């Protein structure tokens, strides 16, 4: 598969996320052609412990 993105006009992309995030704390930064997005996880969706039976 080949993707070509043009450098003119508006641009948008939708990326599905694997869990809930705190939208109010989301941040995005565009610097030197690189987009960095920070999406902190919701504490209710944090890592879950699974007991291991032996």
Per-residue model confidence (pLDDT) at position 47: 67
CB 41 within 8 A of CB 22: yes
Q: What is the pLDDT of residues 1-13, one digit of tens each?
A: 777 766 677 777 7
pLDDT score for 6 = 65
SS3 43: helix
- 53 alpha carbon, distance to own chain's centre: 34
52 has pLDDT over 80: yes
pLDDT single digits (tens) 1-44: 777 766 677 777 788 877 788 888 889 998 888 888 898 887 77
11-15, 27-31, 45-49, 50-54: least confident range: 45-49
């Amino acid at each position: 598969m080949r993707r070509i993105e043009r450098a003119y006009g508006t641009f948008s992309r939708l990326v599905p996320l694997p869990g809930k995030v705190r939208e109010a704390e989301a941040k995005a930064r565009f610097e030197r052609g690189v987009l960095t997005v920070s999406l902190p996880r919701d504490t209710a969706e944090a890592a879950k412990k699974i007991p291991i039976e032996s």
